[in-house]
């Protein structure tokens, strides 16, 4: 896709802040530090558009980015940082859960998992939950550049085995690996 424009629109801390123009939305989900904001910047080829950080939990609001004036990328808060003993609901905030369960203009959910590690308990919980929803859903294995091709292929198999069903795309915000494949999934979700 050609990116003619990409702009940060707003950070929502409560429901009344969600956009209300009805444009389709692509949501990015995953644990803190998995690379959501980096992936978004890489897809849009705008370096500092979504804030990235080494400090997990950087993105705490729901952030809306308008692309080509026709759809939104939605960067959701990361889950699972230092709160692993609680349930997904209290861990991750009611806000993200409300958004995911109620948002009607959600065209595609993209769950990110770190390709270097096996999916966590919370990753699997979110996977189960998204599998039971009607919204199209796919998984992205991030930070592929941190593994050798062999190691990466092995990890991809583990992720696919633990999270069967959705398409799994390998990605690196550093090398650009997976960018084209992911865009083509996003484009077809926007068309349907
Ligand atoms: P929160 O907003 O805290 O939930 O994190 P996030 O999921 O948005 O992660 P973010 O994009 O901020 O990235 C976290 C860290 O991982 C940063 O230091 C990034 O530079 C690094 N990172 C993200 N993607 C990649 C990647 O593909 N390769 C490498 N090598 N590092 C990455
Ligand atoms: Mg972030």
The ligand minimizing its distance to the Cα of 57 is 1
User: Domain extents for the chain?
Assistant: 6-191
- Structure-token pair, residue 131: 């599998």
Question: Which residues neighbour ligand 2 (ion) by CB within 5 Å?
Answer: 36-37, 58-59
Percent of the chain surpassing pLDDT 90: 67
Location of structure tokens 């990409």: 6
Location of structure tokens 């398409």: 167
pLDDT at position 77 is 83
Pairing of strands 62-67, 71-75: antiparallel
* pLDDT, mean of residues 28-37: 92
Checking if the pLDDT of 28 tops 70, the result is yes
From residue 164, how far is each of 127, 135, 160, 174 by CA, in Å? 9, 16, 5, 27
| Per-residue pLDDT tens digits for 91-100 | 456 778 889 8
pLDDT at position 38 is 94
Q: How much is the pTM?
A: 0.92
Query: Which residue is closest in CA terms to ligand 1's atom 18?
Result: 54
| Per-residue pLDDT tens digits for 173-188 | 999 999 999 999 999 9
State the fold for domain 6-191: Rossmann fold (3.40.50)
From residue 51, how far is each of 48, 68, 84 by CA, in Å? 6, 20, 24
- Structure-token pair, residue 148: 């050798």
Which residues contact ligand 1 via a Cβ below 6 A?
30, 32-38, 52-54, 56-59, 78, 142-143, 145-146, 172-174
Instruction: Tell me if 28 sits within 8 A of 63, measured CB to CB.
Output: no
Distance CA 103, CA 72 (A): 13
């Amino acid at each position: 896709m050609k990116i003619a424009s990409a702009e940060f629109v707003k950070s929502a801390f409560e429901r009344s802040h969600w956009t209300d123009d009805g444009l389709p939305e692509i949501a990015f989900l995953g644990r803190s530090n998995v690379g959501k904001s980096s992936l978004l910047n890489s897809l849009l080829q705008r370096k500092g558009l979504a804030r990235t950080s080494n400090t997990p939990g950087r993105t705490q609001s729901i952030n809306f980015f308008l692309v080509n004036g026709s759809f939104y990328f939605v960067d959701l808060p990361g889950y699972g940082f230092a709160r692993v003993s609680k349930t997904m609901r209290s861990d991750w905030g009611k806000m993200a859960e409300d958004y995911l369960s109620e948002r009607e203009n959600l065209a595609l959910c993209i769950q990110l998992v770190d390709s270097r590690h096996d999916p966590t308990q919370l990753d699997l919980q979110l996977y189960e939950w998204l599998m039971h929803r009607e919204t199209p859903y796919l998984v992205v294995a991030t930070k592929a550049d941190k593994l050798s091709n062999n190691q990466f292929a092995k990890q991809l198999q583990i992720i696919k085995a633990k999270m069967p069903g959705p398409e799994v795309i390998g990605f690196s915000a550093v090398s650009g690996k997976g960018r084209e494949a992911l865009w083509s999934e996003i484009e077809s979700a926007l068309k349907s």
